[in-house]
Amino acid sequence: MLRSARDRLLLPAAMAALLISALAYWWLDNGPHEIFGTLMFGLLGWHLTTNRRWFLKLRSGRYGARRWVVLVTHIWLGITMTVLVVTSVLISRSVLSFAQFSNDVTIIELHWFSAYWVAIIVAVHAGTHWTRVMTVAGTVFRLSPSRIRSGVLRLAALLLLGVGAWSFTVLGVSTKLMFGYSLEFWDFTSAVSPFFAHWTVVMAGVAVFSHYAMICLRQLDEIRTRTMEGQT
Ligand code: HEM
Ligand code: HEM
C-alpha cells in the first residue's frame, strides 16, 4: 500500500510540482531551473517504469472512445516531452554547460513552447487517470464512501474550473500555446506566490475538465457496448 501511495500519488505530485517550479524561469536562476527540470525528467523515467505495463498491453483488448483518447493524449504528451528534453540538452548552460550545443533562438523558442504545452497536456493526462488516483487515495487513507465528501469534492471541482479559466487568462496561457511570444512576463519583483497559485489552478482546472470528459466517454462506451450486445 505504501508503495502504491509513493508511485501513484507522491511521484506524480512531485513531478507536477517540479514542472510548475521550472516554469518560473525568471524567478529562479538558470542553475536551479535546470536542476528542477532535470530532476523532473529523472522522476519521469521512474514514472514510465512504474507504468510500463500500459505500453506492453497496447496491442491487446478492444479500443473504445475512452481508450483512444488516452492513447492520443499519451502520444501528444510523448512528443512534447521529447521536444522539451532534447531542447533542454541542446541549450543547457549549467547542468550540461561543458557541452553548450546551441544558442540558437529557434531552439530556445521551441524549448519554452514545448514547456507550456507539456504543462497543459500533463494536466489533461492527470485528469484522464484521476479515478485511479482517487481509488489509491481512498485505499491509502482508508476512506469509506461518503456523500458529503463527494459533494464537497464536486463543489471544489466546479470552483477549480471557474478559477482555472480566470488564471488561464491572467497568465496569458493561450498566447503562449499559440507560439506567440508574450512580452508580458510575470513580474516576480512584485509577487511570487500568485504565479505558482495561478499555474496550479490552471492545471487543476484542465484536469477537472478532462476527468469529467472521461466520465462522459465511459458512459458513451457503455451505451455502445449495450447496444451491440442487444443486436447480437
Ligand atoms: C509531469 C509529468 C506527469 C505527471 C504529473 C503524470 C501523472 C500521472 C498520473 C497521476 C497517473 C495515474 C497514476 C498512476 O497510474 O501512476 C499517470 C499514469 C500514467 N502515465 Fe503519467 N504523468 C506524467 C508524465 C507522463 C508521460 C510523459 C508519459 C508518457 C507518455 C506518461 C505515461 C503514463 C502512463 C502510461 C500511465 C498509466 C496509464 C494506465 O495504466 O492507464 N506520464 N500519470
Ligand atoms: C520541466 C522541465 C522544464 C521546463 C518546464 C522548462 C521551461 C522553461 C521556460 C518557460 C523557460 C523560459 C523561456 C523564456 O521565457 O524565455 C526556460 C528557459 C531555459 N531553460 Fe528550461 N525548462 C525545463 C527544463 C530545462 C532543462 C532540464 C534545462 C537544461 C538542462 C533547461 C534549460 C533552459 C535554459 C538554458 C533556458 C534559457 C533560455 C534563454 O532564454 O536563453 N530547461 N525553460
Interval 82-107: pLDDT, tens? 999 999 999 999 888 777 777 888 99
User: Which of the four pLDDT bands, split at 50, 70 and 90, describes residue 228?
Assistant: confident
- Look at ligand 1, atom 41, and give the residue with the nearest C-alpha: 54
User: Which of the four pLDDT bands, split at 50, 70 and 90, describes residue 183?
Assistant: low
Q: Which residues line ligand 2 (CB under 6 A)?
A: 19, 22-23, 25, 30, 33-34, 37-38, 40, 84, 88, 91-93, 95-96, 108, 111-112, 115
pLDDT value of residue 97: 74
Q: Does ligand 1 come within 6 angstroms of the Cβ of 132?
A: yes
| Percent residues over pLDDT 70 in the chain | 97
Per residue, the 3-state secondary structure of 59-79, as one string, reads: CCCCCCHHHHHHHHHHHHHHH
How many A from CA of 122 to the centre of ligand 1? 8
Mean pLDDT over the full length of the chain: 93
pLDDT value of residue 232: 67
Interval 110-153: pLDDT, tens? 999 999 999 999 999 999 999 999 999 999 988 988 999 999 99
User: Which stretches within the chain are classed as H helix?
Assistant: 2-5, 11-23, 30-50, 52-56, 65-91, 105-128, 130-140, 147-170, 173-177, 193-231
